[in-house]
Amino acid sequence: MERTYDAVVIGSGMGGLAAACNLAKNGFKTVLLEQHNFPGGVTTSFKRGRFEFEISVQCITEYGSKENKGPIYQFLVDDLGIDIDFPRMTEGRFVAWTDSGEQMVVPLEKEELIRFIEQRVPGSEPSLRAYLDFCDEMLAAINYINDNDAAIKPVELILKHKGIVAAAGLTTKEVTDRFHIPKKALEYLDVYWTFIGLPMDAVAFPIYGTVISCMDSVPVYAPKKTTYEISAKMAQRFVELGGTLLCNTRAEKILVEKGKVTGVVTQRGEVFKTHHVYSNALPHNVFNNLIYPKNELPAKALQRLNMRTVGTSFLSMYMGLNRSAKELGLNHYMYYFAKNGDINGAYAGIDDLTPNGCFAGMCPNPLIPDASPEGTSILHLETIYRAEPWGKLTDKEYFAKKHELAGDLIDRASDVLGFRIRDYIEEIEVAAPQTFARYIGSYMGNVYAYDHRVFDSVVIKAMTQDKERLIDGLSFVGNAGLLVAGFPSSILSGRLATIEQIAHRGA
């Protein structure tokens, strides 16, 4: 069976859904292929007993409000007509450094954050303020890329955002060193490093600078009905706009002839003829497994894969507790547990399967009371690991190690929270890199696509995006798209990737 489409989208993560919706809205005949039995990728939920657990996304940024619209609001609400109620967060992470016993709640609003850190690190205010302003300029530069539909004019970018282009080639540590921010002051900013998965001397400044600006200068929201509500409504809207959604359908081949996409073949042998493919699957999956025939794979594609380091994954625990958050004293939405503020030390432990020096947590109930049945609560704990050491375990060793490390996190969180978590667990599910690989098909079970190092930062990728187009008609969206990893950037990457096809309709 053969059918012809203007575009084929592979994978219904946020990037794939956004690309599919934008194409369908603009009148393109589009088919969206999803190997799972429902859309969303990691932007989803699952049920165990009477609990529904959010898989991955803790907070939503770049949404703005009706009065001050952010790019996500503009795309979801104004462009697609998808209006979702997101409760606004009023505080950042609850942080516990166990070595010193210091506990605090990091403010979300910029001026409060500056006062908070100045009280703890006297004299830090001038350098801190200058740095946070620079982070805001970085976010403005990223929004410039989005506002201009990725049609970057380097001279204009330099004129509008002085210093940003130079900073695009620096690590976050190199930038903070230039602002002479006290080391202790930086520790309060670095508590969001798990959003990225790299320490400050490795992560590109455009990435972490944007994270900091999003967490102190724009409204931050939470997914009220889990992020599956977002995925489901985007999928529904895609179909309403005339798109074709095929679940339980895996792309087996991307057909290429003379360097140009000609179609996609599914596991059932269906052939969808097209000259445009948008892949939510990572380049590692696509270039290693999907391009057909193999002699159409450019040598540069493999060079690109070898250049990049596959991103990190998680050990994640989803627990349904049989007491309310109020009864247990779970008063915060986001948690961060660490021995101290040394994230390099914590990062050094992600390559072996020993207990990690830091981990994060989330309890939705203080912000979303009906996130679980009355008299219950949800607690999610997670820590970062590389996938490679997990792959060396036998089946028996895998389950033993997963439960050993999960138990360690539970006990350490119990020590900080002041109650024995094990006594109140009604439901529990533990996910490791193999779990993510199985359910979302991610390469090596990674969640963050690729490490966000200097040579792969968003500004540099935007200014050299033509070099990333190795096969005519093949574009990547989602975590491996132009705007790299993260919930808002994954959505916007899908929109941006389709702009060129929309602009050249009929060409």
pLDDT of residue 420: 98
DSSP type of residue 100: T
Over range 99-105, report the average pLDDT: 96
The confidence band for 424, taking pLDDT boundaries of 50, 70 and 90, is: very high
Please determine, for residue 2, whether its predicted confidence score (pLDDT) is greater than 80. no
Residue type for 391, please? G
Residue 493: CB atoms within 10 Å: 32
Please determine, for residue 309, whether its predicted confidence score (pLDDT) is greater than 90. no
The CB-side HSE value for 490 (13 A sphere, CA atoms) comes to 28
The chain-wide mean pLDDT, for the chain, equals 91
Q: At what angle do helices 487-503 and 14-25 cross, to 10 degrees?
A: 30
pLDDT of residue 274: 98
For the chain, what is the radius of gyration of the CA atoms?
22
CA distances from 494 to 11, 20, 149, 390 (A): 11, 8, 11, 31
**Beta strands across the sheet bearing 474-476:** 244-246, 30-33, 7-10, 277-279, 474-476
**What CA–CA distance (Å, rounded) separates 67 from 32?**
33
Of 154 and 408, the one with more pLDDT: 408
pLDDT of residue 151: 57
Expressed in percent and rounded to 5, the helix, strand and coil fractions of the chain are 45, 20, 35
Instruction: Please give the share of the chain, as a percent, with pLDDT higher than 90.
Output: 72
Encode pLDDT of 248-305 as tens digits.
Answer: 999 999 999 999 999 999 999 999 999 999 999 999 999 999 999 999 999 988 888 8
**What CA–CA distance (Å, rounded) separates 47 from 92?**
27
Give Cβ neighbours of residue 507 (< 8 Å, ≥ 6 apart): none
Q: Which CATH number fits domain 2-84+224-298+471-503: 3.40.50.1820, 3.40.50.11540, 3.40.50.720, 3.50.50.60?
A: 3.50.50.60
Q: Is the peptide bond before 219 cis (omega within 30 degrees of 0)?
A: no
**What CA–CA distance (Å, rounded) separates 375 from 15?**
37
pLDDT of residue 468: 67
Residue type for 227, please? T
Residue with tokens 């606004």: 88
Instruction: Please give the share of the chain, as a percent, with pLDDT higher than 70.
Output: 93
DSSP notation for 241-287: TT-EEESS--EEEEEEETTEEEEEEETT--EEE-S-EEE-S-HHHII
Nearest to 363 by CA among 45, 58, 44: 58
Sign of torsion, CA 231 233 234 240?
Answer: positive
DSSP H or E run through 121: none
pLDDT of residue 116: 98
**What CA–CA distance (Å, rounded) separates 34 from 496?**
21
pLDDT of residue 467: 65
- Torsion angle, CA of 295/297/299/304, rounded to 10 degrees? -160
Encode pLDDT of 23-41 as tens digits.
Answer: 999 999 999 999 999 999 8
Over range 109-120, report the average pLDDT: 97
DSSP H or E run through 96: strand 94-97
DSSP type of residue 74: I
Encode pLDDT of 41-74 as tens digits.
Answer: 889 999 999 999 999 888 999 898 888 899 999 9
Cβ pair 29, 5 in contact under 8 A: yes
**What CA–CA distance (Å, rounded) separates 488 from 15?**
9
Please determine, for residue 349, whether its predicted confidence score (pLDDT) is greater than 80. yes
Copy the structure tokens of residue 458: 């968003």
- The least confident of 42-46, 481-485, 487-491 is 481-485
- Torsion angle, CA of 290/496/507/78, rounded to 10 degrees? 130
pLDDT of residue 153: 63
Please determine, for residue 156, whether its predicted confidence score (pLDDT) is greater than 80. no
Domain positions in the chain: 2-84+224-298+471-503, 109-214, 313-440
**What CA–CA distance (Å, rounded) separates 42 from 48?**
17
pLDDT of residue 507: 43
Residue with tokens 């912000």: 367
